[in-house]
Structure 1
């Protein structure tokens, strides 16, 4: 039987290298170790308990509430039962060079009955490990699970017993009593891991997250949502390599029971560049330099070989395959790992990258000869190729087209390159770049506009829009109050807004994307709507949209990729970087619009 727990029931824990999803009732149902894109050892999210999970809960609790401690990713869950109350604090400690997950349950009133269940399945829930009780190098008892290259060690004040291919423990806690459990991953050829300093790990993690969040000056009514979103973006950034994953999960469905299930545990150049813009608007410069170094390593080589996405370490191999042993979330199959879209041509990607790097320069991050040489090389290649059809921002698996959004972002890439030469004096074939920039702009105006519907359209000859056209506001393709931009804004709302504030990416009945089926409203596009309204000085409309969208975050402030307004539930992979960065940027534009109209 497949998992059907609502996606918004999950909170995320992370240590800057990987992340876990834990349900409101205390079940860790997804964890890949040691990296975001590693094989999962708990995969109940895409199957059931026998695919691996780690439960620590009060089964008879009548009320369960949870929150992150201040601006951190230390999760605190309170279970109120008929005879008492218990609190669980859990975190993945930062900066200790280990892959640990720490959980501590404390009875704060009366007494509670606790369930502890530990089911390890390596290889995305497929392989039962060899499990034995051991003694660690410090003489402490532990449970060691090992299979192939992976091993997990469970330490605790009390350890569960083997029961029918899993480990289980049921016990009573009385007021003031607590039990602490620590899970540690290590390569199978290394000695059994020691237990770390649990109390200091929890406290230090909270301090690090709070200190990072405190650097952001966020005014206005949406501060809490913005700070949490910034924290999510930081959590999704690999601390060592600088790669930024699009989401923690794979194959959470865009359509429940359907086949629109994709692996998002990789670094898309587009999403990462937009993440940097969100961080830069709030003063985070170190992260930008870290990612630029990642970019130089990942893209190094022939510009013709640039991919739209890479693994966290910059590796290019993302072959897509299906995991047929997993039933999929809510029966949504196939379950995919890898992503075949990595081989697509998407001309818009360099536009987002160049816009982010221009913003970095404006923030004071200086170009190096190597960083500019890379950009020069990529722009020279774009000049030769931008007129060819591509797969577009939505990674269509249908036939390539001359997407209007791709042409507009080509203009943005060339425009930022020309400005760099003009303002910094860096080398480049600026006369040719300037001519191609103007040609791309003219192409969009001539072929991306439809007199039939009075709007920019998805591609030449189309009579329908696309929510990606809202990004034309973000890159200043035309002034935001230009009649053509306002007409496009209104046309997109008329065609794609299926619930107040919620936009589809495009109409699937009018677009052959090579996948088929319907999907739910896309949250990033919905935030782009608020962003565009703010830039067009329609601040009241922008706020109305923001109020709807921010209200969709779950109880700990997280957003998935999409939202199903009919059943009031999230859809798609979670937590989604694109959703959270679009929230941050839309609120920023709303605050700027407020300042413009209130001297």
Structure 2
């Protein structure tokens, strides 16, 4: 075993839109149009990668594809996150089916329980015959390790660093340069199964899977996803397929053992090509995860609400001491997510640095209490009986919002410059108290309501006085600022002001006119050198564009809302996945992928448009009732 010096390593150029997600709700893989596994972390989302060619050409991949020219089409097996890639050649057609096995769904519950950490790849001949090739190049620890590959009965083992990977293959491989190579032909009606799993050092001899076993487990995974979808997905409004698919994507980004939800499956896919806005999103942000649970209320009727709140209650003991809720955790609840760079990786299209960990973990962001309590209100029925630990935790969140709303923080966009009095942060402290009041009976916190109401009114007066800017004609990014920020669209979305209020309408128009590019997509804010602690620019934000659609729908401008929604949704790739941003020049996807925020925005905007078109009164729990109040 030796470490790769990466001399002469090549940057990755795979378009982000060429990637498709597979997940077992423990970890995630990304697979390209060419049948290459470009990214895979075992045994959890935020663990070191086994394949990372997405970030450096020499950081590992596993390709199965025709060895002759081909054309491809892709889809997910209906109601699943199992990927099918169809290769058409001059001599025949094959389909490659990829899945991380989920294990049985236990009658529609606990999708992802008892997973074997096994990536299965099925090659099936649909017509004629097709010559195929396989290249298996594991590179554990983000490409640092060139493992020892050994041929054993039925497959190949790879040992290096902390990993022992076992590949089951019906095709003999030749080994060289810590890489396995093989060729084979698939004829009509033939099927072959390949499987790679993360073994344990105690497993001797290496566990190999026979063909029937792999076939059965893959079929069971399809059944498990379909069972979950049919049980949980009942939304029947416009763009139903997109909403249901987004619900499955959000489910796929959840960590089944703990109830955590990651913001995205990747690290360091840039917000601007060649820039420094390259962050690790494979962690559970309180904000993102809370908004995900809220979106699942629309898209998938979540039954994991108790798991989610139990995870946060366990992960956030510091709330009871200095009343500060850490904004993010690892998927297992670890607090220290110290950021470091991986200088041996060139990054996607030379976008450096490549980072693991995230320095925002110890930032102060006072908005998180609002998103958390908003999710609790929306999921009130799914939560059932609230145990005492969760009840005390949610009360403490409302109390902390009441105590800290006057403080400066880094805001929703995690500015790495000086803290400010961000409008969105104050707004979400108002939300925390508003939802806390609505939940007071369930939380047995009636004795706190009078105090919460007083502070809620104080925050409201402050926001209307300091957050509104007459010169700009809009609510602005921060108190005393002339900068627009798309997060001001949340003023009507959370019910702080009616959507028809003149200040709300003026803010919506200001964002549409001054924060929108020629494609009709919305920037978070206008990046000015150093304003957010960074020196480079970024793309337009899909979440913010969906916020604009949602705000337009709430204000009764349904035609405009539909137009904005469809512009944003059109950037989903061929298998319905969205990244964080869109390059304003090239129109291609940028940022970590797939991005929970973007799918959350899609779900909520579609639902708001549906509600507006139905014209059936209030738009639901946690969304405001048109007079600025939920309770």
TM-score, normalization by structure 2: 0.91
Distance 1:580 1:22 in 2: 19
Distance 1:207 1:362 in 2: 27
CA contact (8 A) 2:24 2:115 kept: no
Matches within 5 A, 1:86-485: 86-95=94-103, 96-135=114-153, 141-191=154-204, 192-195=206-209, 197-214=213-230, 215-282=232-299, 284-303=301-320, 304-361=323-380, 365-421=384-440, 425-485=444-504
Corresponding residue of 1:32: 41
Q: Give 1:450 shift.
A: 0.6
Deviates more, 1:11-20 or 1:159-168: 159-168
1:549-581, Cα deviation, whole Å (9 max, x unpaired): 121111100001111242121000001111111
Q: Give 1:384 shift.
A: 2.3
Unaligned runs of 5+ in 1: 136-140
**Hey, which bits of structure 1, 4+ residues long, moved more than 6 A?**
none
In the alignment, structure 1 residue 571 sits paired with structure 2 residue 584: no
In the alignment, structure 1 residue 489 sits paired with structure 2 residue 520: no
Q: Give 1:255 shift.
A: 0.3
2:27 corresponds, among 13, 18, 23, to: 18
Q: Give 1:495 shift.
A: 1.3
CA contact (8 A) 1:237 1:245 kept: yes
Distance 2:468 2:304 in 1: 38
Q: Give 1:158 shift.
A: 1.4
2:53 corresponds, among 41, 44, 60, to: 44
Distance 2:616 2:314 in 1: 44
Distance 1:424 1:64 in 2: 54
1:429-458, Cα deviation, whole Å (9 max, x unpaired): 333222211111111101011111111111
CA contact (8 A) 1:285 1:365 kept: no
Corresponding residue of 2:5: none
**Which SS does the other structure have where 1:481 is aligned?**
coil
Q: Give 1:194 shift.
A: 3.5
CA contact (8 A) 1:29 1:54 kept: yes
Q: Give 1:172 shift.
A: 2.4
Deviates more, 1:430-439 or 1:345-354: 430-439
Distance 2:299 2:90 in 1: 46
Give the count of matched residue pairs.
593
**Which SS does the other structure have where 1:395 is aligned?**
coil
Unaligned runs of 5+ in 2: 1-9, 104-113, 618-631
**Which SS does the other structure have where 2:394 is aligned?**
helix
1:166-187, Cα deviation, whole Å (9 max, x unpaired): 1111222233333221101123
Q: Give 1:506 shift.
A: 0.4
**Which SS does the other structure have where 1:278 is aligned?**
helix
**Which SS does the other structure have where 1:37 is aligned?**
coil
1:391-445, Cα deviation, whole Å (9 max, x unpaired): 0000000000000111111111111112222676535433322221111111110
1:74-131, Cα deviation, whole Å (9 max, x unpaired): 2111111111111111111112531000111122222211110000111101111122
Q: Give 1:276 shift.
A: 0.8
1:522-569, Cα deviation, whole Å (9 max, x unpaired): 111111111111111111111111111121111100001111242121
Distance 1:249 1:585 in 2: 23
CA contact (8 A) 1:149 1:187 kept: no
CA contact (8 A) 1:147 1:188 kept: no
Deviates more, 1:457-466 or 1:183-192: 183-192
**Which SS does the other structure have where 1:112 is aligned?**
strand
**Which SS does the other structure have where 1:378 is aligned?**
helix
Distance 1:244 1:42 in 2: 22
CA contact (8 A) 2:303 2:382 kept: no
In the alignment, structure 1 residue 78 sits paired with structure 2 residue 86: yes
Distance 1:426 1:302 in 2: 18
CA contact (8 A) 1:379 1:414 kept: yes
1:499-542, Cα deviation, whole Å (9 max, x unpaired): 34310000112871001211000111111111111111111111
Deviates more, 1:51-60 or 1:493-502: 493-502
Corresponding residue of 1:138: none
Corresponding residue of 2:546: 527
Distance 2:158 2:178 in 1: 12
CA contact (8 A) 1:149 1:188 kept: no
Deviates more, 1:292-301 or 1:229-238: 292-301
Distance 1:195 1:293 in 2: 36
Corresponding residue of 2:109: none
CA-based RMSD: 1.8
CA contact (8 A) 1:361 1:367 kept: no
Change in 2 beyond 3 A, CA 1:143/1:428: farther
**Which SS does the other structure have where 1:547 is aligned?**
helix
